[in-house]
Structures are given as structure tokens and as C-alpha cells.
Amino acid sequence: MSDDPILSVDDVQVSFPVGGLASRSAILGVAGVSFQVRPGETFALVGESGSGKTTLARAINGLQEISAGSITFEGGRIDRLGKREMKPIRKRMSMMFQDPVGSLSPRMTVGDLVTEPYRIHGSDGRDLRAETERLLSLVGLPANFASRYPHQLSGGQARRVGVARAIALDPALVIADEPTAGLDVSVQGEVLNLLNDLRERLGLAMVIITHNLHVVHHVADRTAVMYLGRFVEKGETEAMFSAPCHPYTAALLSANPEPDPDKVHDRITLPAEVPSLLSRPSGCEFHTRCPWAQETCKTVPPPPGDVTCHFPLAPGARPPELESAR
Amino acid sequence: MTTLSVSGLNVWFSTEDGPLHALKDVTFDIPERRIVGIVGESGCGKSTLINAILGLLADNGEIRNGEILFEGQSDLTKLTRREMQDLRGPRISTVFQDPMGALNPVLSVGEQMINIQYRSGQSKAEKAARAIEMLKLVRIPDADSALNRYPHQFSGGMKQRIAIAMSLMMEPALLIADEPTTALDATLEVATIELLQDLQEQIGCSVMFISHHLGVIAELCQDVVVMYAGEVVERGTVRDVFHDPRHPYTRRLLECDPARQTERTRVLPTIPGEIPDLRHRPEGCVFAPRCLERHPGCDMAQSERMVAPGHAARCNLVDQSAAEGESA
């Protein structure tokens, strides 16, 4: 594993205009985030819906224009590239989209679907039939699946086809948007094992977007937690799970229902109302929902860093109201 | 009293490739004022079961035998269309997975909430007051003005709470919740579970809660029914089934949940193989082709065995361990 990052995202912002043509106002879907991914590493983006995870992934892949910051991939800036210049980059960086069945054209066979990347980027003299077999066996599907159509596949099988398409061109980086959403637990494990296995065998770097924290725990080397388009905490997955520093991370972790009816939940409950991006809260943007919020948090934005919080939590901290109830 | 008692329910679909046995001998009870979880993976027949209860099976579906006894009196499989219509809504109501799809995007929330009270015979002002009361109950802030807003003006979690408010407005005896938290984030999921728990206590209804999320079932439900390939493979109290699973499928399912792995692992457990083609059900145990504990006894059809009072599993290993227990 080399130490040079394969992907470097620096202070990236994505803004969306709102309020019609004449209006000048805009909301920041991604409000300045930075992270790096090294070869062979898995980086996870976690957050609630609307936190900007998917927008960030689309920005990295050039599907969404960024309004500030820079994105460097394999040593070159890729954030201001045109469609044509972006095409060779897409051979090196592939994307797995959220909906496993919806991302496959219903009118193409599995064989056509997994070799479609070659038709777009050129096959370099590869034998497409042999490639189909190679890719299907790589993702653990029988060769006779090549003649099936997407509606004949189960969710897990469709996901495998999506993985095959993503790795067809030997990319260096795979961005997987909710790779396990909508899959059953038994199949979820299969897909994650497959991704892990390919990562090891092919030396892939991966960016995984998910809101399932249990999944993150098992697959990601490093994790960033997003809230309103910013990272509130970023770091080694293992350390973050054992001792979350940001109250929001702690709340997310405590909200994870576990299959044990006798488990006593020391739950950190958050008010359900997520602030609108149109009127971001002042100071620390999490203060409207934070059980630990103090006066400072309402006015002064937290200092930048891996944990953007005025008062990072001590390990095992409990919210003030639970503490006093004891 | 038992709110819903399903016994020996068999549902068949006629398909181009022959008859498909979608539900086989499904038996379970939903006692009064209890929350019963139905858990199983895609294709296990959860949706068919809901549709059979609600009388909404597709035209090619047919209940061959079995009964669905509601409140100890009416067998839902024998009711006329009209009688069924009178039950759906006031007595049995449903919350679906997708809150956006459950609400009409072009009508204000208030209009929809007033419309569905068409049977109550009250004035419009009374219906509006009732709607506001329900919105307050599900903790929608500023409930009075919420009536004039449209579904797109609410977040996903709030839409789901509005859907829950609507389903409980007529104070039904049975609420069927079909994966109501699957589309929500972790923090909202927990909030919705707690809300459902509160409301169930206040209204005193029974809940049939369908989910594939074992953690949610463990937290919310008192009883659980585990389904596989259209059969009930295990049922009992949540505590019995989760602490002492007796069917190999239940055990494997619990092992697969990444939340059960406290140690970080790179290789997650899975259940290799697929659900059998329900047009050609295996003669013996339906889980046998994927079962690690398979033995010759599994080639025969399996009946349900009682493990303990209120805890049953459709597996012959239950007999063996009972025999071992006696000889020991």
C-alpha cells in the first residue's frame, strides 16, 4: 500500500441555485469537505438522508459540478475537466449506483450489461465472450446468467452484476453508493464479502456511502460522518466506533437497534427536526439538536479539524439529562 | 381475546409456468394489545400474507384453505367485498413502507386527513379538529398550520408520522405496519419505533409489524413470527426466539446480522443458496437445501413442534434435543 493518496478531495463545495431564474440565492449541498483515499483503502461516508453524501460522490465522479475546492485523482486535477477529458478518468474510477435493479437497463441481457463498459471505452482487442465469463465468475454468478434479463435476477444477483460492471475496466477506485440498501441480511454479507475480496485481490480503493453503521464497522478503514454537507467527525473507523468524539456520531451510534431484546439502550435521542439548508443554524450547525449544546455553540462556529465540536466528548459520555437522572 | 388468528392458511397463485404455492400452512396469532413482528427475507411471503389478510390478493391469487379469524368472529377469507371494505380503515389499517407513495401529492395533508374520515358522520370542523389532534399525537410541530401544507413540504420522517397518524385516526383494532421504518435513517427509525410503541399503548390496538431488520423487531415487538419460503418456521416471544432460536434458519439469520458481530470482521457470515422455486416445493423441509444441519429425517415434510409453551419451530431437531434432554 503506497502512501500517496489516489484520491484527494480538498475543501469541496457544491451549491445548488434555488428560487427560480431571477434569484441569486443558493444552498450548499456540500459545504467544504476534505479527505484522502489511499490505494487499497476503504473510506466510508456516513450520514442521514440529505446530508450530502450522494452529492459528494457525484461530484467526485464528475457528474456534479463543484463550486469551490479541488479534486485530485491519480496525481491530476479532475474537477474542471470537460466531458471528453473526463472519459478516460471514468475507466479508472467507477461508480456503483444506489438502486441495484434500477441501475440496469431492463432491455439488456446480463452479458450485454457487464460488457457495456468495453463498448463505451473500447475493448482493446479483448474477447467479449471470455470477458463476460471472467467477470461473472469474479462476482460469483454462473456463466449461464449472461442470457438473463434484469427482471429475472434477485436483488443480490442484480447487485453482483452492478459490481461486475464497476470492475470491468480494472479501475483503481470504486465509489459504491449504498451497496447494501434493500438487500436481505444474508445477501448483504455476500455483497460486502465480495467487495472486500475484490479489494484485496485487485488492490482497489473504495469509497462506500451508507447509512448502515454496522456495515461501516466491518468494511471501512476510515470513516467520515456528514451533517448538513460538512464532516463533523473523521477518523479511523475502529477508534470512532469505540469512542465517538462528536455528539452527532455518538447519537448515530447509539441509535443502532440491535437484535437483542434484553439490551438496555442508553440512547442519545435527538430532536427529529433536521434544519433546512436554506437557513443553516448559526454557530455550530448541530447545536439545534445537540443535547450537550452550550451558549458558545449557538454563536461561534467550531474550530476546523477532524472533530468539529467545541466540546468533544469524553469516552462513554452521556447526555446531561441522562446524567442528572441517574 | 385474540385480535387476529391465522390458521392453516394456504395461498396459491396461478402463473404461466404452473401453480405457485406462496403460503403454506401459515399459522400464528396476534393477541390483543400486543405487537407481533413478522420477519423474513424477500420472497418469504410477507407481502402475500398482508394482502391475504386485507383481502387484496391479485386476481391470480387464491386462498385454498385455512382461515383468518378477526376478533374471534369474522373469517376474513369468507367475507364479501363489501364487508371487507367496511373493515379496512376503521378496524384494520395499514402503514406502508414508502411514506411518499402513501400520501397524495396534490392534496393538502388536511384535506387527506379529513377525507378519510368520511364514515364518521361529523362536521368538517370536527374532522379537522380530530386531524389536528392526531398530528399532535405523532408530534408534528405546529399541527394547526400543518393541515394546509402539502406532502412535499414535510421531511421523510414527518411524512411517515403523518401516515401513521392517518392509519390510527379511526382507532383500529389491528394496525398492519409493512416495513414502516425501512426508508428512514437510523435516528428517525428509532424515533418512529418509540412513537409506535407509545401510540399502541394509548390506543390499545394490536400491531402486526413486518420488517427484515432484526434489531427493530427485538426492540419493538413482544412476539415474533419467522417466515421462510412461505412457511412459518419459528414463532414465539421475542425473548425466546432471539435467545434460544430452535430452527436452523432463525439461527443463521441472527448470525448474519452485522450488529451481532461485536468484533470487527472482514468476512461476514451469509446463508449460501437461494429460496426454492415455489412452483416446485421440495418434498421435505423447505430449508433443507441450505441447511447445515441437514440429515435424512429432513426429507419428510415437517410439522410444527412445540419447544416450550408459546414457542414453536418447524424442525425435527426439536424432537431430538427433547429426547436428549429426557435421556440426560
Average pLDDT over every residue of B254-268: 79
Q: How many CA atoms lie within 13 A of B290 on its CB side?
A: 19
Which amino acid type is present at position B260? R
3-state secondary structure of B261: coil
- Chosen from A260, A265, A274 to mutate, greatest number of chain B CBs within 10 A: A260
What whole-number distance in Å separates Cα of residue B309 and Cα of residue A186?
29
A-chain residues near B212 (CB < 8 A): 184-185
The pLDDT confidence band at residue A179, using thresholds 50, 70 and 90, is: confident
Q: At which residue does the C-alpha cell 466528548 appear?
A: A313
| B10 touches B25 (CB < 8 A) | yes
| Per-residue pLDDT at A2 exceeds 60 | no
| B269–A272 C-beta distance less than 8 A | no
| B266–A219 C-beta distance less than 8 A | yes
Q: Among A188-192, B163-167, B239-243, B263-267, where is mean pLDDT lowest?
A: B263-267
Pairing of strands A205-210, A173-177: parallel
| DSSP secondary structure, A26-94, as one string | EEEEEEEEEEEE-TT-EEEEE--TTSSHHHHHHHHTTSS--SEEEEEETTEE-TT--HHHHHHHHHHEE
Length of chain A measured in residues: 326
Query: A47: nearest CA in chain B?
Result: B185
| Nearest CB to A190; choose among B238, B259, B270 | B270
The pLDDT confidence band at residue A69, using thresholds 50, 70 and 90, is: very high
| Per-residue pLDDT at A1 exceeds 70 | no
B193 contacts chain A (CB < 8 A): yes
**Per-residue pLDDT tens for A102-122?**
889 999 999 999 999 999 998
| DSSP secondary structure, B77-90, as one string | TT--HHHHHHHBTT
Adjacency order of strands within the sheet including B92-95: B92-95, B174-178, B206-211, B35-39, B223-228, B231-237, B311-313, B305-308
| B256–A272 C-beta distance less than 8 A | no
What whole-number distance in Å separates Cα of residue B141 and Cα of residue B131?
13
**ipTM value for the complex:** 0.77
What whole-number distance in Å separates Cα of residue A29 and Cα of residue A11?
13
**Per-residue pLDDT tens for A199-250?**
888 889 999 998 888 888 888 999 999 999 999 999 999 999 989 999 999 9
| B202 touches B222 (CB < 8 A) | no
| A44 touches A237 (CB < 8 A) | yes
**C-alpha cell of A144?**
449461464
Closest listed residue to residue B286, CA positions, set B241, B244, B227: B227
Query: A265: nearest CA in chain B?
Result: B219
Backbone φ and ψ for A241, nearest 5 degrees, come out as: -70, -35
| Nearest CB to A186; choose among B189, B243, B270 | B270
CA distance A211 to chain B (A): 7
Ramachandran quadrant class, A4 (left: phi over 0; alpha: psi -120 to 50; beta: rest): beta
**Per-residue pLDDT tens for B108-166?**
999 999 999 988 889 999 999 999 999 998 888 888 899 999 998 887 888 999 999 99
| B22 touches B11 (CB < 8 A) | yes
| A189 touches A214 (CB < 8 A) | no
B2-91+172-268 architecture in CATH? Answer: 3-Layer(aba) Sandwich (3.40)
A192 contacts chain B (CB < 8 A): yes
What whole-number distance in Å separates Cα of residue A211 and Cα of residue A181?
9
CA B34 to chain centre: 13
Q: How many CA atoms lie within 13 A of B77 on its CB side?
A: 19
Closest listed residue to residue A34, CA positions, set A58, A10, A65, A70: A10
pLDDT of residue B163: 94
What is the average pLDDT score of chain B? 90
What whole-number distance in Å separates Cα of residue A172 and Cα of residue A94?
8
pLDDT of residue A209: 92
A33-37, A267-271, B265-269, B324-328: range with highest mean pLDDT:
A33-37
| B176 touches B53 (CB < 8 A) | yes
| B46 touches B210 (CB < 8 A) | yes
**Per-residue pLDDT tens for A127-141?**
899 999 999 988 888
pLDDT of residue A322: 64
CATH number, domain A7-227: 3.40.50.300
CA B276 to chain centre: 22
Q: In this predicted model, which residue has the larger pLDDT, B98 or B254?
A: B254
| Per-residue pLDDT at B325 exceeds 60 | yes
B217-256 burial, b at 16+ Cβ within 10 Å, e below that, comes to bbbbbebbbbbbbbbbbbbbbbbbbbeebbbbbbebbbbb
| Per-residue pLDDT at B290 exceeds 80 | yes
B198 contacts chain A (CB < 8 A): no
Crossing angle of helices B186-203 and A247-254, in 10° steps, is 50
What sign for the dihedral angle of Cα A163, A165, A171, A175? negative
**Per-residue pLDDT tens for A34-66?**
999 999 999 999 988 778 898 999 999 999 999
pLDDT of residue B285: 94
What whole-number distance in Å separates Cα of residue B233 and Cα of residue B312?
8
Residue B159: count of CB within 10 angstroms of its CB: 22
CB burial class (10 A; 0-12, 13-18, 19+) of residue A65?
exposed
B39 contacts chain A (CB < 8 A): no
List the Cα angle A108/B17/A186 in 5-degree steps.
65
CB-based contacts of A200: which residues, under 8 Å, 6+ apart? A40
**C-alpha cell of B128?**
379537522
B80 contacts chain A (CB < 8 A): no
Average pLDDT over every residue of B254-266: 78
| A186–B252 C-beta distance less than 8 A | yes
What whole-number distance in Å separates Cα of residue A175 and Cα of residue A184?
21
The pLDDT confidence band at residue B188, using thresholds 50, 70 and 90, is: confident
CA distance A201 to chain B (A): 14
Backbone φ and ψ for A62, nearest 5 degrees, come out as: 80, 10
Query: A274: nearest CA in chain B?
Result: B155
| B158–A272 C-beta distance less than 8 A | yes
| B positions 227-246 inside 8 Å of A (CB) | 238-239, 242-243
**C-alpha cell of B49?**
400474507
| A49–B218 C-beta distance less than 8 A | no
Q: At which residue does the C-alpha cell 394546509 appear?
A: B148
What whole-number distance in Å separates Cα of residue B255 and Cα of residue B261?
8
| B214–A259 C-beta distance less than 8 A | yes
| Nearest CB to B259; choose among A252, A259, A265 | A259
B321 contacts chain A (CB < 8 A): no
A-B C-beta contacts closer than 8 Å = 122
pLDDT of residue B1: 82
CA distance B277 to chain A (A): 12
Backbone φ and ψ for B217, nearest 5 degrees, come out as: -60, -45
What whole-number distance in Å separates Cα of residue B234 and Cα of residue A309?
47
| B249 touches B276 (CB < 8 A) | no
Ramachandran quadrant class, B106 (left: phi over 0; alpha: psi -120 to 50; beta: rest): alpha
pLDDT of residue A326: 44
pLDDT of residue B243: 94
| A288 touches A281 (CB < 8 A) | yes
Pairing of strands B174-178, B223-228: unpaired
Domain ranges of chain B: 2-91+172-268, 102-169
- Chosen from A42, A185, A196 to mutate, greatest number of chain B CBs within 10 A: A185
pLDDT of residue A323: 61
Which amino acid type is present at position B100? M
**C-alpha cell of B183?**
426508508
A236 contacts chain B (CB < 8 A): no
What whole-number distance in Å separates Cα of residue B320 and Cα of residue B328?
12
Query: B40: nearest CA in chain A?
Result: A184
B262 contacts chain A (CB < 8 A): no
What whole-number distance in Å separates Cα of residue A7 and Cα of residue A70?
11
Report how far apart the first and last C-alpha atoms of chain A are (Å, whole number): 48
| DSSP secondary structure, B167-222, as one string | HHTT--SEEEEESTTTTS-HHHHHHHHHHHHHHHHHHT-EEEEEES-HHHHHHH-S
| B253–A260 C-beta distance less than 8 A | no
pLDDT of residue A25: 81
**C-alpha cell of A319?**
447526555
Query: A289: nearest CA in chain B?
Result: B187
Q: How many CA atoms lie within 13 A of A325 on its CB side?
A: 6
Average pLDDT over every residue of B196-219: 92
| Nearest CB to A218; choose among B139, B239, B258 | B258
